[in-house]
């Protein structure tokens, strides 16, 4: 959606205010009035700046009493009401500003802010249609609104218009794919695309849309046929490789499958859903043919911008299920480089290190994780367990006792702490503490 940092708006308001003052006919006669107006205006700006919106409203209303047709004052009033979440009065003020001056984008933007925050998508649409006249980038907002109000036909028409002028963003590609996969759209669209291909076999976009359509319904055979036809008519098209990957894999041709996969991954116009599907098909082949795992490593960076899926982390889980601990730990390390705040990935990585009996790494990594997340009790448990295994019982006991303070309403986790503390105390000959933790463990187990 649009960014709501109205750059240079303060300058605009001052300019509007200045125009009002300079437009007066008799400066001497109205000097006192102008001083009052100016003081009230700057008081309103000052109070808004320190978030005293109620006081800002009082001051700007005094300005409006002197100049009720000043659109900039109405807009400023609307902003303060919006900050107070008084949407009814904010809407009223912004509407008045638009009525007084409909050529200022900020005033329309104010109305959109109201409807955006109240999730009134129907009222937002005509406002954003107007905002598109000021800024073509607002078309993305308009597509989102059409999607939220189930006006898929309008959304698709607008998406096609946008695509004819520039590359669609990943979100717009996602919307386009959603529309194409919908049952209401699929059948007539399939027929239209097939006819369009017959009439104009050199237009790549028609093939692309049909491949996406078939892929969305998991009709890979049909998608492949379209891709083969595309390859024949337009040999240099990257989109032909969407289905050629599977074709080469079925023929056990890893080299050409790899080349086709990278053609797909390098194409910025292709939806991530398609890229993931191609990547997963190649992964299954590479696991059976380890020579090609190097291509998997090379492919991971192509998903760095994926906000939804951490591919390296998912690969780590994949190899862990196959009991390949080396590859699992390798890919968890890669995944944590992409998202160093993924607590789940950290814990899974530590579990793998425990399975590998690499307790030096367990303690080292768990302590590093604690630097960023000092209130996560699991990391203290991993530190304590690691030091117990390394026979550094004093360090283990300290870490475990520190971590106990952060265990809240988790009896299973608490029991694991007591088990490790019993080991530490026993080896430190601290029989009193050992008995305390033994009793607490027994109480939990009851």
Residue 423: what pLDDT? 95
> Is 398:420 a contact under the CB 8 Å cutoff?
no
Question: What DSSP letter does each residue of 132-163 carry, written as one string?
Answer: HHH-GGGHHHHHHHHHHTT-HHHHHHHHHHHH
Please report how many Cα atoms fall inside a 13 Å half-sphere around the Cα of residue 11, on the Cβ side.
3
Q: What is the pLDDT of residues 242-281, one digit of tens each?
A: 778 887 888 899 999 999 899 989 887 777 778 888 898 8
Residue 217: what pLDDT? 67
Structural domains of the chain, ranges and CATH numbers in brackets: 9-118 (1.25.40.10), 202-302 (1.25.40), 310-351 (no CATH), 358-446 (1.25.40.10)
Task: For residue 326, give the 3-state DSSP assignment.
Answer: helix
Please report how many Cα atoms fall inside a 13 Å half-sphere around the Cα of residue 71, on the Cβ side.
20
Nearest to 411 by CA among 441, 381, 436, 382: 441
Residue 234: what pLDDT? 85
CA–CA distance, 422 with 359 (Å, rounded to integer): 19
The first and second tokens of residue 102, run together, are 């409909």
CA–CA distance, 405 with 441 (Å, rounded to integer): 16
- CA 399 to each of CA 79, 304, 372: distance values in angstroms, whole numbers, following the listed order: 52, 35, 16
Distance of CA 339 to the CA centre of its chain: 13
CA–CA distance, 332 with 352 (Å, rounded to integer): 9
Contacts for 1 with CB less than 8 Å, ≥ 6 apart? 116, 141, 144
Residue 25: what pLDDT? 39
CA–CA distance, 55 with 347 (Å, rounded to integer): 51
Query: What dihedral do alpha carbons 193, 195, 197, 200 form, nearest 10°?
Result: -130
Angle between helices 170-181 and 152-165 (to 10 degrees): 140
**Which ranges of the chain have pLDDT less than 50?**
1-33
CA–CA distance, 126 with 131 (Å, rounded to integer): 9
Nearest to 94 by CA among 76, 70, 69: 76
């Amino acid at each position: 959606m649009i960014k709501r940092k109205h750059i240079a708006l303060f300058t605009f308001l001052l300019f509007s205010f200045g125009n009002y003052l300079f437009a007066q006919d008799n400066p001497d006669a109205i000097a006192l009035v102008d001083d009052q107006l100016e003081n009230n205006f700057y008081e309103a700006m000052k109070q808004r700046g320190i978030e005293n919106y109620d006081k800002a409203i009082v001051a700007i209303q005094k300005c409006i009493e002197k100049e009720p047709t000043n659109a900039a004052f109405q807009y400023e009033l609307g902003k303060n009401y919006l900050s107070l979440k008084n949407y009814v009065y904010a809407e009223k003020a912004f509407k008045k500003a638009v009525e007084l001056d409909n050529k200022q984008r900020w005033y329309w933007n104010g109305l959109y802010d109201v409807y955006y925050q109240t999730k009134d998508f129907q009222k937002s649409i005509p406002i954003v249609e107007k905002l598109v006249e000021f800024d073509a980038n607002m078309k993305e907002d308009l597509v989102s609104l059409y999607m939220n109000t189930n006006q898929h036909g309008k959304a698709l028409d607008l998406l096609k218009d946008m695509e004819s002028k520039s590359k669609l963003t990943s979100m717009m590609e996602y919307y386009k794919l959603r529309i194409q996969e919908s049952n209401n759209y699929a059948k007539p669209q399939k027929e239209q695309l097939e006819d369009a291909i017959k009439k104009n076999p050199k237009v790549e976009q028609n093939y692309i849309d049909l491949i996406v359509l078939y892929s969305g319904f998991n009709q890979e055979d049909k998608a492949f046929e379209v891709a083969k036809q595309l390859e024949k008519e337009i040999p240099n098209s990257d989109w032909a490789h969407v289905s050629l990957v599977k074709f080469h894999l079925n023929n056990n041709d890893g080299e050409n499958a790899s080349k086709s996969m990278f053609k797909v991954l390098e194409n910025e116009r292709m939806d991530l859903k398609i890229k993931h599907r191609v990547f997963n098909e190649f992964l299954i082949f590479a696991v059976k043919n380890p020579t090609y795992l190097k291509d998997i490593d090379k492919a991971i960076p192509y998903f760095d911008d994926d906000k939804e899926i951490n591919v390296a982390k998912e690969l780590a889980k994949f190899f862990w299920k196959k009991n390949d601990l080396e590859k699992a730990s390798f890919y968890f390390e890669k995944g944590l480089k992409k998202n160093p705040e993924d607590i789940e990935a950290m814990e899974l990585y530590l579990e793998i290190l425990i399975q590998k009996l690499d307790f030096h790494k367990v303690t080292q990594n768990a302590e590093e994780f604690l630097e960023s997340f000092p209130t996560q009790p699991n990391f203290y448990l991993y530190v304590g367990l690691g030091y117990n295994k390394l026979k550094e019982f004093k360090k283990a006991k300290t870490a475990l006792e520190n971590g106990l303070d952060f265990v809240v309403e988790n009896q299973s986790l608490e029991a694991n702490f007591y088990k490790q503390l019993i080991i530490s105390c026993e080896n430190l000959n601290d029989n009193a503490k050992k008995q305390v933790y033994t009793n607490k463990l027994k109480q939990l187990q009851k």
